[in-house]
Chains A and B, each alone.
Chain A
């Protein structure tokens, strides 16, 4: 597979435990945030998003928390499974961004131990 994630921060999690992945963003004007999952050899896949008028949003086994005061975003994965092993990226979008561009974080590699 692709060698994405070799030099990324790594979070090792025991199968069944909860995972928390953190992301700091810099643009206070950003109003839309996304979490992506990238498995080895594949393109980034949308997991969950949140608008700036919310501080929490839940999906299936995933929760995103947004703290605009400290410009911090987190992704919580409940009951982590082997299939959750991947690199996770956060991304932010500002209404003023030319071309509707996203700004991506550096990524965190999650390794699930059986």
Chain B
């Protein structure tokens, strides 16, 4: 299994541009999550999904959108990029509710100039 994969690894955006961060997992996990991590800080939850077709907001959802059309994929959309969205973005997944760790992808580093 490849686990959780993310693309791209690094991207530079201009203010106002949009992009989609891709996340995929091959573990047949129902639960998927998007986090952002600013330098020197912990993880903040942006959005999460408990299954295909179901998404919900996390702690910091403003400026982002998600969709979950399949179990495997959970893309994160940035519309009208702002410098405040400069961060490292991590996708994670887990297979069941309770007593199981989340598995993280390698991250996407985003710089908005």
Across chains A and B, the number of contacting residue pairs, with CB separation under 8 Å, is 74
Given contacts A45-B104, A99-B56, A101-B33, contact A8 B99 (CB under 8 A): no
Instruction: Collect the chain A residues with CB atoms within 8 Å of residue B76's CB.
Output: none
| Bound form: Cα–Cα A81–B42 in Å | 24
User: Are the C-beta atoms of A43 and B104 separated by less than 8 Å?
Assistant: yes
The DSSP consensus for interface residues of chain B is: strand
Whether A89 lies near B42 (C-beta < 8 A) is: yes
Residue B37, interface by CB 8 Å: yes
A5 CA to B37 CA, complexed, in Å: 11
- Residues of A in contact (CB 8 Å), total 32
**Residues in A whose Cβ lies below 8 Å from that of B2:** none
Known: A51-B99, A100-B97, A101-B48. A2 touches B43 (CB 8 A): no
Cα–Cα distance between A31 and B40 once the two chains are bound (Å)? 28
For the A-B complex with A34-B102, A93-B98, A100-B31 known, give 20 more contacts whose Cβ atoms are closer than 8 Å. Answer: A2-B107, A3-B39, A3-B40, A8-B40, A31-B98, A32-B98, A32-B99, A34-B101, A42-B107, A43-B92, A44-B43, A49-B99, A51-B99, A89-B43, A93-B99, A99-B31, A99-B49, A101-B33, A104-B42, A104-B43
